[in-house]
Structure 1
Amino acid sequence: MSAWPDTLRTGPLREWPGTLSTQRRPAPFSAGLTDTLRILDREIYNLVDTRAQQDSAELLIAIPAGAFRRDGKPYANARAEHPGVIFSLDSRHGHLSYPCDTFTTWQDNLRAIALALEALRKVDRYGVTRHGEQYRGFLELEATAVPASFSSWSAAHEWLADTYGYEYRAGDHEQARGLLRLGQRKSHPDLGGDTELFQRVSLAEAKLREAGLL
Structure 2
Amino acid sequence: MKTELDLELEPIGEFPGRQRTAEERERANFSATLKDTLKLLKLELGVLRARDLVCGIDVRASDLRGDGLPSPSAVALSPAIVLMFESKYGFLKIGFDRFKRWEHNLRAIALHLQHLREAGVYGVGSNGEAYRGWSAVAPPPRPRKKKSPQSAPNPSPSATSKEREAAEFLAKHGGKTPNEILADAEAFGTAYRMASASLHPDRGGTHEDFVRLQRAVDLLKVRFP
Which one of the candidate residues 55, 70, 81 is aligned to 1:74? Answer: 70
Q: What is the CA–CA distance in structure 2 between the aligned matches of 1:132 and 1:14, rounded to whole Å? A: 26
Q: Per-residue CA shift, 1:90-109, capped at 9, x if unaligned?
A: 00000111100100010111
**How far did 1:131 drift?**
1.6
Q: What is the CA–CA distance in structure 2 between the aligned matches of 1:133 and 1:97, rounded to whole Å? A: 15
Alignment check: 8 A CA contact 2:28 2:100 kept? yes
Q: What is the CA–CA distance in structure 1 between the aligned matches of 2:62 and 2:47, rounded to whole Å? A: 32
The answer to whether residue 122 in structure 2 is matched with residue 121 in structure 1 is: no
Q: What is the CA–CA distance in structure 2 between the aligned matches of 1:58 and 1:102, rounded to whole Å? A: 20
Alignment check: 8 A CA contact 1:11 1:65 kept? yes
Alignment check: 8 A CA contact 1:7 1:44 kept? no
**How far did 1:9 drift?**
1.1
SS class of match (2:65): coil
Q: Per-residue CA shift, 1:79-132, capped at 9, x if unaligned?
A: 101000101110000011110010001011101111111111112122324322
CA gap of 1:16–1:127, structure 2 versus 1, over 3 A, is: closer
Select the structure of larger CA radius of gyration.
2
Aligned partner of 1:33: which letter? L
Q: What is the CA–CA distance in structure 2 between the aligned matches of 1:43 and 1:98, rounded to whole Å? A: 14
CA gap of 1:8–1:70, structure 2 versus 1, over 3 A, is: same
Aligned partner of 1:96: which letter? L
Alignment check: 8 A CA contact 1:21 1:101 kept? yes
Aligned partner of 1:72: which letter? G
CA gap of 1:80–1:108, structure 2 versus 1, over 3 A, is: same
* Partner in structure 2 of residue 5 of structure 1: 4
SS class of match (1:56): strand
Q: Which structure 1 residue ranges, 5 or more long, are not aligned?
A: 49-53, 142-214
* Partner in structure 2 of residue 41 of structure 1: 42
**How far did 1:18 drift?**
4.2
Number of residue pairs matched by the alignment: 135
* Partner in structure 2 of residue 111 of structure 1: 107
Q: Per-residue CA shift, 1:115-170, capped at 9, x if unaligned?
A: 111111112122324322211111138xxxxxxxxxxxxxxxxxxxxxxxxxxxxx
Which one of the candidate residues 127, 131, 135 is aligned to 1:131? Answer: 127
* Partner in structure 2 of residue 101 of structure 1: 97
CA gap of 1:24–1:107, structure 2 versus 1, over 3 A, is: same
Q: What is the CA–CA distance in structure 2 between the aligned matches of 1:34 and 1:104, rounded to whole Å? A: 19
Q: What is the CA–CA distance in structure 1 between the aligned matches of 2:79 and 2:100, rounded to whole Å? A: 6
**How far did 1:76 drift?**
3.3
CA gap of 1:21–1:129, structure 2 versus 1, over 3 A, is: closer
**How far did 1:16 drift?**
3.4
**How far did 1:55 drift?**
4.0
Alignment check: 8 A CA contact 2:16 2:94 kept? no
**How far did 1:41 drift?**
0.6
Aligned partner of 1:20: which letter? Q
* Partner in structure 2 of residue 29 of structure 1: 30
Q: What is the CA–CA distance in structure 1 between the aligned matches of 2:99 and 2:129, rounded to whole Å? A: 27
Larger RCO: 1 or 2 (CA < 8 Å, sep 6+): 1
Provide the identity percentage. 38
Q: What is the CA–CA distance in structure 2 between the aligned matches of 1:31 and 1:69, rounded to whole Å? A: 21
